[in-house]
Amino acid sequence: MNTLKLALLVLLMGCSSQNERFQNIEPFADKSLLDIIKWRLSTNKESWPEWIESEQYKIPHERSEELSYTVINHASVLIQWHGLNILTDPVYSKRVSPVSWLGPQRVRLPGVRFEDLPPIDIVLISHNHYDHLDLETLKRLKLKSNPLIVVGLRNGELLKSEGLDHYRELDWWEGFEREGLSFSFVPAQHWSARGLFDKRMTLWGGFSLKEVAKEGRHVYFAGDTGYGRFFKEIKEKRGRVDIAFLPIGAYEPRWFMKDQHMNPREAIQAHHDLESLYSVGIHFETFQLTDEGVYTPRKTLEHLKEERELKGEFHAPTFGVTVRPQFF
C-alpha cells in the first residue's frame, strides 16, 4: 500500500468534527494529516508475512458456571462463564477497513471457525474502529443467535441503520446484570471514528465483568487503549482483577501511537495497576496496523517477564485454544 493511499485511509478514519465529542480522562492531541505523512515517510516498518499457516480449534459448546476463555485472535475473545457465551469485538472479515479493496488484511485464519462458535448470548464492542466493530460479523451473529450487542453511547445508531436492533448503549460506569454477572462499561484511553467527520462522536471503553455473589470474581476486557491512570480507577471502583485481557500490539512508532496503544511494557504496568492475578495479551499477530514485527509483541512480553519481577501471570495466548484457569 503506498503512502498516499494509507494516509487517505487513516484520514478517512480520523478527521475531527466541530460538533460535541467525547473526551479521554487524559486528553491527547489529534494527529494531523502531516503527522500521518511524516510517519509513513520516516517509518522503519517491519515486513509481515503475507500469510501465516495456523490451526483452527473446536471449542466446548456446553454451558458451564465455571469460567473458560478462548482468544480467537486480535481482540476477539470468547468468554464462557455463568452459563453465558460472551464474545468481545468479533472480527471475521478479511479486511478491517471502510472499503473492501484497501486497508489492513488479516494474515491468519481466526483461531475458531465462525461455524464452530457456540450460540452467542452477549457481544461486547469496545469501540467503532473497523478492527473492533465489524458489521458483517455482527450480521452473521444475528442470524446465528441474535445476541445482545453492548456498545458505548451513540453507537446504536450505526447498528440500527444496519438492521442490528438488539443492542444496549452504556456510558462509562453504567452497566446491567445478567445470570449473576455485573457488566460495567469502563474507561479506556482511545478514540472513535468510522468516517470523515465523526472522530470521538461515539464512546469507546472496556468492560468489567464481576460476579454479583460468591467470591465476586472479576474479569476485565480492555479493548483497545493507551496506558493511563484509569486502570487504577477501575481497580478502585470495581475491585482487584482476577483475569485481564490487555492489548500488547499496534504500538510503533511510539511518538505516533503511545497515546492510543500500549506496548508490552505498559501492558505489564496496567496488569500491576489492576492487581491482576492473570493477564492475557490481545490485539496482535492478526492485522498489521503499525510498524513492529508480527511476533515482536509476543517476544517482547516474554523478554520483559524474564527481565522484571512480575506479580501474577501474563501470557500471550495460542489463538483458538480454550483455557480454563485452574486458580479461578
pLDDT in tens, 94-151: 999 998 888 999 999 999 999 999 999 999 999 999 999 999 999 999 999 999 999 9
pLDDT above 70 for 166: yes
Of the chain, the percentage scoring pLDDT greater than 90 comes to 85
- Identify the bridge partners of residue 246 per DSSP, sorted by sequence position: 281
pLDDT above 90 for 280: yes
Global confidence as pTM:
0.94
pLDDT above 80 for 308: no
Q: What would the pLDDT profile of 65-102 be if each residue is shown by its tens digit?
A: 999 999 999 999 999 999 999 999 999 999 999 988 88
Average pLDDT over residues 26-53: 92
Query: Rounded to whole angstroms, how far apart are CA atoms 40 and 3?
Result: 6
Confidence of residue 19 (pLDDT cuts 50, 70, 90): low
Q: What would the pLDDT profile of 319-328 be if each residue is shown by its tens digit?
A: 999 999 988 7
Mean pLDDT of the chain: 93
Do you find a cis peptide bond into 253, omega within 30 degrees of 0?
yes
* H helices, E strands: number in the chain: 8, 14
Confidence of residue 10 (pLDDT cuts 50, 70, 90): very low
- 202 or 60, greater pLDDT: 202
Beta strand 278-282 pairing with 243-247: parallel
249, 131 in Cβ contact below 8 A? no
- 67 or 11, greater pLDDT: 67
**Measuring CA to CA, how many Å separate 255 from each of 31, 35, 45, 227, 325?**
10, 10, 14, 14, 37
- Identify the bridge partners of residue 78 per DSSP, sorted by sequence position: 70, 87
Q: What is the pLDDT of residue 327?
A: 80
Q: What is the pLDDT of residue 42?
A: 82
Q: What is the pLDDT of residue 163?
A: 98
Q: What would the pLDDT profile of 212-257 be if each residue is shown by its tens digit?
A: 997 799 999 999 999 999 999 999 999 999 999 999 999 999 999 9
Q: What is the pLDDT of residue 4?
A: 45
pLDDT above 70 for 11: no
137, 113 in Cβ contact below 8 A? no
The fold of the 57-323 domain, in CATH, is: Metallo-beta-lactamase; Chain A (3.60.15)
pLDDT above 70 for 6: no
Q: How many CB atoms lie within 10 A of CB 114?
A: 13
Q: What is the pLDDT of residue 13?
A: 43
30, 123 in Cβ contact below 8 A? no
pLDDT above 90 for 284: yes
128, 193 in Cβ contact below 8 A? yes
Query: Rounded to whole angstroms, how far apart are CA atoms 94 and 141?
Result: 16
Query: Rounded to whole angstroms, how far apart are CA atoms 295 and 274?
Result: 26
The domain ranges of the chain are 1-15+29-44, 57-323
